[in-house]
């Protein structure tokens, strides 16, 4: 059995690169998760997970992370990514990710609606929401990335 993560934070960043992969890598680095090995997870925050915005993940770690991203090579295109973590104190939470060809404000609004709906369909009361979002105007090849890393 794998241990349950005990800590999390939300992060979002954008970057340019010579390729889509290096743009993605640059965004990961700016988001403080670029020197880890991402283990993509779906959207449940473990019970009693504590928010630690300054959490540092050791390089090379296998990192459980829920994330959304978008890359584009369309010069002048606005792209955005957002993550929202909804919390019910004393219970588990829900993580929602969104990315698209839109502004940061539109991405934040969309991810907020998704978190609210996720709680509504579970019949849970939503106590708080943590959101991180970014937008990026593409020059050559750009990436917008938003995530909720989980740690032990």
Which CATH number belongs to the domain containing residue 68 in this structure?
Answer: 3.50.20.10
Active site residue 116: no
Active site residue 48: no
pTM beyond cutoff 0.95: yes
Domain assignment of residue 94, yes or no: yes
Domain assignment of residue 34, yes or no: yes
pLDDT band at 35 (very low <50, low <70, confident <90, very high): very high
What integer best gives the mean pLDDT of the chain? 97
pLDDT band at 57 (very low <50, low <70, confident <90, very high): very high
Count of CB atoms situated within 10 Å of the CB of 53: 10
Domain assignment of residue 13, yes or no: no
Domain assignment of residue 6, yes or no: no
Q: What's the whole-number mean pLDDT along residues 90-116? A: 98
Q: Find, among 134, 130, 123, 135, the residue nearest to 150 by Cα.
A: 130
Domain assignment of residue 103, yes or no: yes
Apex 126 CA angle, 122 and 127, nearest 5: 150
Q: What's the whole-number mean pLDDT along residues 48-59? A: 97
Domain assignment of residue 12, yes or no: no
- The tally of domains found in the chain comes to 1
Q: Are strands 128-137 and 93-100 parallel, antiparallel or unpaired?
A: unpaired
Among the listed residues 16, 18, 74, 97, the single catalytic one is: 97
Among the listed residues 18, 35, 37, 74, the single catalytic one is: 37
The values of phi and psi at residue 59, to 5°, are -55, 140
Domain assignment of residue 1, yes or no: no
99: enclosing H helix or E strand: strand 93-100
Active site residue 97: yes
The pLDDT of residue 18 is above 90: yes
Q: What is the dihedral of CA 14, 45, 96, 56, to 10 degrees?
A: 0
Q: Rounded to whole angstroms, what are the CA distances from 105 to 43, 48, 51, 87, 96?
A: 22, 29, 23, 21, 16
Render pLDDT for 63-83 as a digit per residue (tens, 0 to 9).
999 999 999 999 999 999 999
Domain assignment of residue 59, yes or no: no
Active site residue 42: yes
The predicted pLDDT at position 1 comes to 77
The predicted pLDDT at position 70 comes to 98
The range of the structural domain enclosing residue 125 comes to 20-50+64-151
The pLDDT of residue 7 is above 80: yes
Among the listed residues 43, 72, 99, 135, the single catalytic one is: 43
């Amino acid at each position: 059995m794998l241990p349950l993560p005990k800590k999390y934070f939300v992060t979002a960043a954008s970057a340019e690169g010579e390729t889509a992969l290096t743009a993605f890598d640059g965004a990961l680095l700016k988001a403080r998760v670029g020197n880890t090995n991402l283990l993509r997870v779906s959207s449940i925050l473990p019970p009693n997970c504590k928010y630690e915005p300054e959490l540092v993940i050791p390089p090379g770690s296998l990192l459980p992370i829920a994330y959304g991203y978008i890359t584009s090579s369309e010069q002048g295109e606005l792209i955005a990514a957002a993550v929202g973590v909804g919390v019910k104190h004393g219970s588990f939470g829900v993580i929602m990710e969104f990315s698209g060809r839109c502004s940061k404000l539109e991405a934040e609004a969309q991810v907020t609606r998704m978190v609210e709906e996720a709680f509504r369909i579970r019949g849970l009361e939503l106590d708080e929401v943590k959101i991180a979002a970014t937008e990026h105007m593409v020059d050559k090849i750009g990436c917008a990335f938003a995530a909720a890393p989980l740690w032990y």
